[in-house]
Structure 1
Amino acid sequence: MLNFNAKTAKLLETAYQGADFSRRRRASFDALGPKPGDIIADIGCGNGMLTLELARTVGDHGRVIGIDPSEDMRSAAVARCADWDNVAFHDGTATQIPLDSASVDKAVSLQVFEYLDDLPGAVAEAHRLLKPGGRLVIGDMHWDTITWFSDHADRMEKMIDAWDGHLVERCIPAVLPPLLRAGGFAVDAVLPVPFSATVLNPDGLANMMIHLMEPYVVNKGLVSAEDARAWAEEQQALSDAGRFFFSITHFVISARKL
């Protein structure tokens, strides 16, 4: 798994303000349907960008509680939401949330479940903290949908295979709905949010992945430093030459507590 330290938090801060990640947050926001007065749990809130957007909508009579195990991420989120009295942050994980049972109207988790080694436990914990009829929205990538062009297909395949090591489950959109149903939820929708790019934008998803993947595969001893650097440099060269192509599909799963 990735270590979400201060350096990673800074990288994500830049990318998360870009168009790709704004669209992904908006997809989860729309599926959640926040209303004034709602009490919402943001599970794995990261640097608090979605937390803040939810806080604006629920207003003074609502509340948003961000949950994250990373102190660096929580610190960034606290700073972002410092002017909002209707926001609180807690140290916790998707399987251990420090909130009372049936205490929230809605819960959202954006690109968190793919890192969990206990999906049934996370589903049970979300079910516990939601009120009856409460809505749960989970957004994650389906990593089988990735398409990434390279003139060195074997090297690209090696990089993607090595990157899989940072995940626990690469196909959350496929495996989670039946777990939700078994855990006491009705699944209302599984909506695709496709991403594609023909330019390597500095604030884009592909660029963020390059900056995360290169050190990860090298530090894990999965790819040599020379090969990883050549891979990253090729992607920039392809973009400069008008030959870059990247695509992946994110999915938003909406469910209700029965």
Structure 2
Amino acid sequence: MTQHVEATAAPDQIAYLDAAAGTAVGLDYKQRFRAALDLSPGHAVVDIGCGPGTDLGRLADAVGETGTVIGVDREPRMVAEARRRFADRPTVEVRAGDVHHLPLAATSVDRARTDRVLQHVDDPAAAITQVRRVLRPGGVFGMAEPDWDSLVVAEEDVEASRRFSRFVAGRVRNPTVGREVARLSTVAGFEIRSVEAFPVVFRDFQTADQVLGLRRNSARAVEAGVVAEADAAGWIQRLRTGPFLAGFTLYLVTAQA
């Protein structure tokens, strides 16, 4: 009997961002990320590419009633949802804007963060320079970015796993930006405070499929002619039923203005 790879629809982006943040991996690295930012009451902090506001609440809790949290996103749907969620939080403001042209005055914030955003932007170097502009002297910029070239999926068909990993990396605009942000930040005039390589490890298929889109991207790889459908279907079936392990490296970098 011929196997067929099961295509799945792309998830709703808001639901995806919230779900990924709620996984054990998401909760772990985000807690480390907040700690690295060294937030204090009274700080003004900007979350660039804030999405539906997934992280704005915890940032607001950290800076307290005397602080300010500004979420910035270029997608109208994300801005609307974040504003809806935090309509009753006077210390949280959500602005429409792009990381290349931040809607903030020069030297106006104490902390800035991007969480898996620079991998998607047109010009990471220009974006980092923009962040340098809006930070006050001594301000801290935190970046959490993956290195998709490090993606691995443990499976007996090693070559199929490699083809999948290369295909996923090829769909990202800046797949290796995680390893590059420290260098780009130095060029922009920042002093690097810390660099941490955080291993993102999945031990169950369902969580990995939710975050990495194993079935969805396998179907896309078949459509692109990267892998034969029978090979992809067999690969997915073995991943679903056998012992599972997949992972990639996420870089957490903090830089000081």
TM-score range, shorter chain: 0.7 to 0.9
Note if 1:171 corresponds to 2:176. Answer: yes
Number of the residue aligned with 2:198 = 193
Decide which of 213, 217, 221 is 2:217's aligned counterpart: 213
Task: Output the amino acid matched with 1:253.
Answer: V
Number of the residue aligned with 1:90 = 95
- Indicate if the aligned counterparts of 1:15 and 1:205 stay in contact, CA closer than 8 A: no
Number of the residue aligned with 2:251 = 251
- Indicate if the aligned counterparts of 2:152 and 2:161 stay in contact, CA closer than 8 A: no
- Indicate if the aligned counterparts of 2:152 and 2:165 stay in contact, CA closer than 8 A: no
Shift of residue 118, structure 1, vs aligned partner: 0.9
SS in 2 for 1:113: coil
Mapped to 2, the partners of 1:216 and 1:79 lie a distance apart of 34
Alignment root-mean-square deviation, CA: 2.4
Shift of residue 220, structure 1, vs aligned partner: 6.1
Q: Which runs of 4+ in 1 moved over 3 A?
A: 204-207, 214-234
131-140 vs 21-30, greater mean Cα deviation: 21-30
**CA displacement, residues 195-227 of structure 1 (integer Å, 9 cap, x when unaligned):** 223323x4x355321255346546767556666
- Indicate if the aligned counterparts of 1:113 and 1:172 stay in contact, CA closer than 8 A: yes
CA spacing shift, 1:78–1:216, aligned 2, 3 Å: farther
Number of the residue aligned with 1:44 = 49
- Indicate if the aligned counterparts of 2:149 and 2:165 stay in contact, CA closer than 8 A: no
Larger radius of gyration, structure 1 or 2? 2
Mapped to 1, the partners of 2:201 and 2:141 lie a distance apart of 27
Number of aligned positions between the proteins: 247
Task: Output the amino acid matched with 1:207.
Answer: Q
CA spacing shift, 1:82–1:227, aligned 2, 3 Å: farther
- Indicate if the aligned counterparts of 2:200 and 2:249 stay in contact, CA closer than 8 A: yes
SS in 2 for 1:115: coil
- 1:1-258 aligned at under 5 Å gives the runs 7-200=12-205, 202=206, 204-205=207-208, 207-210=210-213, 213-214=217-218, 217=221, 228=232, 230-238=234-242, 243-257=243-257
Shift of residue 85, structure 1, vs aligned partner: 1.4
Percent identity, please: 25
CA spacing shift, 1:230–1:47, aligned 2, 3 Å: farther
Task: Output the amino acid matched with 1:208.
Answer: V
Task: Output the amino acid matched with 2:144.
Answer: G
Shift of residue 25, structure 1, vs aligned partner: 1.2
TM-score by length of 1: 0.85
Is there any run of 5+ residues in structure 2 with no aligned partner, and where? 1-9
Mapped to 2, the partners of 1:36 and 1:109 lie a distance apart of 20
Task: Output the amino acid matched with 1:209.
Answer: L
CA spacing shift, 1:71–1:224, aligned 2, 3 Å: farther
Is there any run of 5+ residues in structure 1 with no aligned partner, and where? none
CA spacing shift, 1:228–1:57, aligned 2, 3 Å: same
70-79 vs 56-65, greater mean Cα deviation: 70-79
Mapped to 1, the partners of 2:234 and 2:82 lie a distance apart of 35
CA spacing shift, 1:181–1:58, aligned 2, 3 Å: same
